[in-house]
Amino acid sequence: MSDASRRSNLPPLALHVPEPKFRPGDTVDFAQVAVPPVDAARRPDTADAAHGFHELAFGLVRVLDMDGTAGGQWDPRISPDLKRQMLRNMALTRAFDERMFRAQRQGKTSFYMKSLGEEAVSVGAAAALASDDMVFPSYRQQGILISRGCPLTDMMNQIYSNRGDKLQGKQLPIMYSEKGYSFFSISGNLTTQYPQAVGWAMASAAKGDTRIAATWCGEGSTAEGDFHSACTFASVYRAPVIFNVVNNQWAISSFSGFAGAEATTFAARAIGYGIAGIRVDGNDVLAVYAATLWAAERARTNAGPTLIEHFTYRAEGHSTSDDPGQYRSEGEPNAWPLGDPIKRLKAHLITIGEWDEERHDAMDREVAEQVKAAQKEAEKNGILGHGLHQPLDSLFDGVFEEMPWHLREQQAQMLAEEEASGRPWARK
């Protein structure tokens, strides 16, 4: 009997194609999303071996309950002043996003990406890390720069690619690079920052430094080979690095299932590499702060790397080029069971008697005016469509330490064509 005959009674092979639960027009019900109590997750000692707390990769570290109270072993018990500072940084990030989004719609820049609903991921981490720890961000961590005090005008100059842009218009808008704020250059190529962060962390350890590295990517980017290469090196050499996976449910128009979310959590990927894995409520800034502080202590005491999955939701489109209404239900952002990070911290501060509606409204007005003033200053340096903002002959600078012959030839050809045109390209 042939092999084919012996298999004649078997069903044909089939592939599973992930499908999101809700599409445009569907009624949203996130009842399947498990939200455990704030006291459900234990907090291991930072010196514990990674294999001793695998359950943290499958649960959800939480501090803020939905009623505004805080509790559980992960409660960092920080001062009200620090909580208010994080609240302001999240509000400032949101105000900055809103104004730059409108600037793009007005044609002042070509592109922008909001972090609406995800502000706690960057602001909480920035508060927990040392200011000189090196961060290797993805393109939705503007809250780190804002928390570290980077001038808003400098950030806007980069978005406008104008005369004040320190990168001379050679990077896409929102792909900042700020050495003075230990903020590594953002790349549009997904997850290249992961092995770069590990390499930097290994170099820091090799030199006997005390600074650590932290890096971020979206959940969809964990399917990239760079993610796995980084995890391997970090695991083998116990590099002092924190891996942050921002699981905001959507990678542009592909939902998280295509990156493996239907099979297990993203924090569980740490288990296979023998590194610490924690799944955190990404809309709870105190939980993000506590988890990052814990991971930073592990890294700084040579206990190895940590992978933190921030379970959150992307409330807006992927970018100004995206229309989420084409692929997901419009009811999703408001139905997300973990709420809004700003509203949750605000409710907590009010609950403990350290905040009120009047002060919150005043803060919103203050940050809006701060962003408005910064925009006015940045636009003095130019906006999109108002000519060439950088010297044309600088186009080839900053690529090589010494310009190679073929680029010198191309530069000369470009300048000759400009001269022959009879009008500067800056006025075209």
- Residues annotated as part of the active site: 314, 318, 327
Nearest CA to 266 out of 218, 338, 317 is that of 218
Rounded to 10 degrees, the C-alpha dihedral 42/47/48/51 comes to: 110
Task: State the helix-helix crossing angle for 152-160 and 357-378, rounded to 10 degrees.
Answer: 50
- For 5, residues 6+ apart whose C-beta sits below 8 A from its C-beta are none
Residues 365 and 95 sit within 8 Å (Cβ to Cβ): no
Q: Which residues pair with 216 in a beta bridge?
A: 244
Residues 87 and 364 sit within 8 Å (Cβ to Cβ): no
d(CA 104, CA 349): 34
d(CA 119, CA 93): 7
Tell me whether strands 250-251 and 254-255 are parallel, antiparallel or unpaired. Answer: antiparallel
Q: Is 402 exposed, middle or buried (0-12, 13-18, 19+ CB in 10 A)?
A: exposed
